[in-house]
Structure 1
Amino acid sequence: MVVAAVFALLARVIRQPLIPAYIFAGLVIGPVLGLITSTHVITTLSEIGIAFLLFVAGLEIDINRLRNVGFVSTLGGTIQVLTIFTLAFILALMLGFLSIEAIYVGLIIAFSSTMVVVKLLSDKRELDTLHGRIMLGILLMQDIIAILALSMLTTVNGFSGTLLGLSLLKGASLFVVAWLTSRYVFPQVFKFAAKSRELLFLLSIAVVFAFAALFNAINFSIAIGAFVAGVTLGNLTYNIEIISIVRSLRDFFATIFFVSLGMELLLDPLRSMIAPLIIFVLIVVLVKPLVTMFVCAFFGYKRRPSFIASTSLAQVSEFSLIIVAQGLTLGHIGRNMLSFAVLLAIITITLTSYLSTYEDFLFKKLSRYLKPFDRFSEEGGEALEYIPKKRRKQHFILLGHNRIGYSISRTLRKMKKELLIVDYNPEVIKRLIREKIPCIYGDVGDIEILERLNLKYAYMIVSTVPDKADSLLLIKKTRLVNKRAIIIVTASQLEDALKLYDTGADYVIMPHFLGGEHVSVMIEDFTGNVNKMIETKVKHIEELRHRQNLGHEHPKHH
């Protein structure tokens, strides 16, 4: 752990992901220096690490994420996984891998890293953007498929229809038990346990080991049992508290797992696998994003959110490493395959961090070559918009019809102002078209879209998109043709807000600060006036229920 801590600190200093650092630490203390030769204890602890990783993954699963981006996450995510798996499987066979090895290669390539992507999105405060929701939806679907694959691999050696059916029946029975306990037993038990943080911790750990033991008893992986335990407890009111108290334990065992992967690396056999390694790195960072872009574009998303989502998913998943580690335990593959997978993960995860950092730069350079992807919209290439023929010259433009934008839109329409809405979520635009509200499907950062907005005649332009680069482009483009327009933009950081003011913004919305100011005004109004407070509460509850029906959610903090 000392060596892992040193490598983690170095990775943090040079702003690199921690997972490759842990793997390198294992490589140093194992194959390179030979400080640890007996890996039995480490292997046992790493299996527990896998279980805790999947337990917390189950706790954090939010089915609503699938609903938020509809078919692109469920059907689209499934198509993406199957396509990548098939391509990688066929290519592996062509390169001389055995059939069982080719299956594992397909699984390694097919999945992307939830851990890495969530970290990258959190660092850039993009978890609640459209491309962020698309990625999280696809990743959730991938995690579900990965769990199914993990459970199926245990039946490969003695595969038969009867054995598979019996295995699935046993698994289904335990899932029913899990559902019944989560609905009728755990709510009351954890309500009592929640009074003590220590008792809540012990009970949560007990549930993990109980489910792991049950699944192990029917020859399923303990990791699957831990995942089911997480999903079971994830529906409870106390899931946030459970996550907070087990996260440190999860991180400890997860670190051991990734260190153990480094210790399992065999460097000599990799010399004969350099060519396949290079080929599959290119598959992950070039072909995989291309397939993902086609999937996103097919489901109606423009090239920018499709591109950003695709490049951020261009890596190998920690789930892939878990699957390979399981394959090694089952005797399906040798340590050379594990070494191959670990090195592939190190390279692609590192490359993804750079792709994510420079995604805006890359998109601007490649944007004109990506235009064909816009033709794959659900409307058969037709413009997804509603613009009345008769329009006044002085109009209002709203960029982003999200939670903030919805309130602004409603107010402007009540004021009978001529409004044009721009949003890059096709579902939002379709709803606006049905309501006969003027709208254009497009991205704020797309110069072609900005040129179509008649910025010269706009009276007021409001952007609720908290992207500094897009806001700067909007301000500069508007000020070139319209010095009088009122420009209101949004920022999530103080430095960005000040920069936007310097560039020419008339007002910068900072949602978190506005919330505090609003509550301060409410306190002044409510003091000595209980009836007004009750009236405001009733209206707020009605508004929240209305927003819930529209699918709006408050941003989650990770």
Structure 2
Amino acid sequence: MTNFVFHDIALVIISSTVLGWLSLLTRQPIIIAYILAGILFGPWGLKLITEIEFINEVSSIGITLLLFLAGLSLHPTKLLELFGKTFLLTLLTSLAFASVSGGVLYAFGFTAMEAVISGVAMMFSSTILVVKLMPTITLHQKHMGAMAIAVLIMQDIFAVLAIAFIKGGSSTSVIGWLTSMVAGLFLALVAILVEKYVLRRIIKQVQRYNELLNLVALTWCFMLALIAEQIGLSHEIGAFIAGVSLASGPISNFLAEGLKFFRDFFLVLFFFTLGAKMDFGLMQSVLIPGLLLTALMLLMKPAVYWAAFRIEKETQKFSREMGFRLGQNSEFALIIALLAADSNLISASSSQLIQMVAVLTMTISSYILIFLFPSPLGTSKPLKID
């Protein structure tokens, strides 16, 4: 298997690089190039890459690092303030997306269970896409990034609840989820104390050695990610807690810059596998409802978020841009689709519909964001290097 894994990862890097370069020449979003590389070289293309599941597991490191670095930019006090402001907003918007999308699918003849689970899968926005394409070059955009992360983390918590129900489907799931939430709050408190009185001293001792300093930060990230999984939370939330606990430290910005390359490399693998895992055979049976739902989400999410942030007394410009930045489906939809299908709660075609809508909304949304708003992967002149 070792040779196959090396062969596949090498092809992923080569194909993603070549298509990424071509995307820059043709002024296309790089993320689309990575997805297209997965489609072309995966099981539904040239079939040159076979270890898709292994690469997908490895790519989850990118999501972990993404949340860790996002947490590094948020001071704990600021985060609590944002959570208080966005909880009701996130809850109400999520319910709106779930009820409308579930109702549409029920009208198309899907079973009540399939409509409910599919509706829940449509609730969330993509943490990867939002954070990856969110610049932090002005105070305005830093505020937008902090608000977006607060909404996304609240959605992650809702997603953990949804996954608990799919896995357990009983009152024990609710009790387990509540226990996990309390344990998560306790983990955050302990993390802040350990960072202040233990980790900060270690960082001070190794700060002259960049390699060891980055390893210390990564160890802290993955240690809390593992602990979070053990208490029923996702490893992404554990990594986020690790980042937030370091945000009050003196070198959080330095750590964030030093680890960006690792994050970006693993995210390339994630977007590649996103394209490679698309099943075009099953898509044909759900093409019409899938395209309709894709259009509905791309129109509804920006409008609903715009209205919600206007109610929160944000400016017209801020609310409009935030609506578009949160206006796609999430990678959590892929997880929910696979788990529900494995548990025989939904059919394989329903699972593929959820995945198709997630991939299409993320793809189209990336075009919208890159060409309408400032972006690290954009094509606007101020972001180019001469």
**TM-score, normalising length from structure 2?**
0.77
Task: Tell me the secondary structure at the aligned position of residue 15 of structure 1.
Answer: coil
Give the deviation of 1:35 after TM superposition.
1.2
Which of 136, 140, 145 is the aligned partner of 2:149?
140
- Could you give the per-residue CA deviations for residues 235-269 of structure 1, whole angstroms, max 9, x where no partner exists? 32221121122211111111112212222211111
Which of 278, 287, 311 is the aligned partner of 1:274?
287
Task: Trace 1:504-515 onto structure 2 (pairs within 5 A).
Answer: none
When you count helix as a share of all residues, which structure comes out higher? 2
Q: Please name the residue that 1:522 is paired with.
A: none
Which of 250, 260, 263 is the aligned partner of 1:250?
263
- Could you give the per-residue CA deviations for residues 82-123 of structure 1, whole angstroms, max 9, x where no partner exists? 32233223333443445565455335433334554566564x
RMSD of the TM alignment (CA)? 3.5
* Letter matched to residue 21 of structure 2: L
Structure 2 residue 181 is matched with structure 1 residue 168: yes
Task: Trace 1:219-298 onto structure 2 (pairs within 5 A).
Answer: 219-298=232-311
Q: Please name the residue that 1:112 is paired with.
A: 125
Whether the 8 Å contact between 1:292 and 1:306 is mirrored in structure 2 is yes
Percent identity of the aligned residues? 27
Query: Cα gap change, 1:63/1:153 in structure 2, threshold over 3 Å: closer, same or farther?
Result: same
Structure 2 residue 194 is matched with structure 1 residue 184: no
Give the deviation of 1:135 after TM superposition.
4.3
Q: Larger relative contact order (C-alpha < 8 A, sep ≥ 6)? A: 2
Task: Tell me the secondary structure at the aligned position of residue 257 of structure 2.
Answer: helix
Which of 2, 9, 20 is the aligned partner of 2:32?
20
Q: Please name the residue that 1:496 is paired with.
A: none
Task: Trace 1:344-493 onto structure 2 (pairs within 5 A).
Answer: 344-353=357-366, 355-356=368-369
Query: Cα gap change, 1:100/1:208 in structure 2, threshold over 3 Å: closer, same or farther?
Result: farther
**Structure 1 CA distance, aligned partners of 2:361 and 2:264?**
22
**Structure 1 CA distance, aligned partners of 2:369 and 2:225?**
36
* Structure 2: segments with no counterpart, 5+ residues: 1-12, 374-380
Give the deviation of 1:200 after TM superposition.
0.7
Give the deviation of 1:81 after TM superposition.
3.2
Structure 2 residue 296 is matched with structure 1 residue 310: no
**Structure 1 CA distance, aligned partners of 2:355 and 2:163?**
21
Q: Please name the residue that 1:458 is paired with.
A: none
Q: Please name the residue that 2:65 is paired with.
A: 52
Whether the 8 Å contact between 2:153 and 2:237 is mirrored in structure 1 is no
* Letter matched to residue 328 of structure 1: L
* Structure 1: segments with no counterpart, 5+ residues: 361-491, 494-558
Number of residue equivalences = 355
Task: Tell me the secondary structure at the aligned position of residue 164 of structure 2.
Answer: coil
**Structure 2 CA distance, aligned partners of 1:98 and 1:206?**
45
**Structure 2 CA distance, aligned partners of 1:337 and 1:52?**
31
Give the deviation of 1:234 after TM superposition.
2.6
- Could you give the per-residue CA deviations for residues 418-465 of structure 1, whole angstroms, max 9, x where no partner exists? xxxxxxxxxxxxxxxxxxxxxxxxxxxxxxxxxxxxxxxxxxxxxxxx
Whether the 8 Å contact between 1:111 and 1:142 is mirrored in structure 2 is no
Structure 2 residue 324 is matched with structure 1 residue 324: no
Task: Tell me the secondary structure at the aligned position of residue 213 of structure 1.
Answer: helix
Structure whose CA Rg is larger: 1
Whether the 8 Å contact between 1:8 and 1:22 is mirrored in structure 2 is yes
Which of 93, 102, 106 is the aligned partner of 1:80?
93
Whether the 8 Å contact between 1:26 and 1:261 is mirrored in structure 2 is yes
Query: Cα gap change, 1:315/1:327 in structure 2, threshold over 3 Å: closer, same or farther?
Result: closer
**Structure 2 CA distance, aligned partners of 1:11 and 1:192?**
44
**Structure 1 CA distance, aligned partners of 2:351 and 2:232?**
22
Task: Tell me the secondary structure at the aligned position of residue 315 of structure 1.
Answer: coil
When you count strand as a share of all residues, which structure comes out higher? 1
Whether the 8 Å contact between 2:282 and 2:349 is mirrored in structure 1 is yes
Whether the 8 Å contact between 2:224 and 2:238 is mirrored in structure 1 is yes
**Structure 2 CA distance, aligned partners of 1:307 and 1:313?**
10
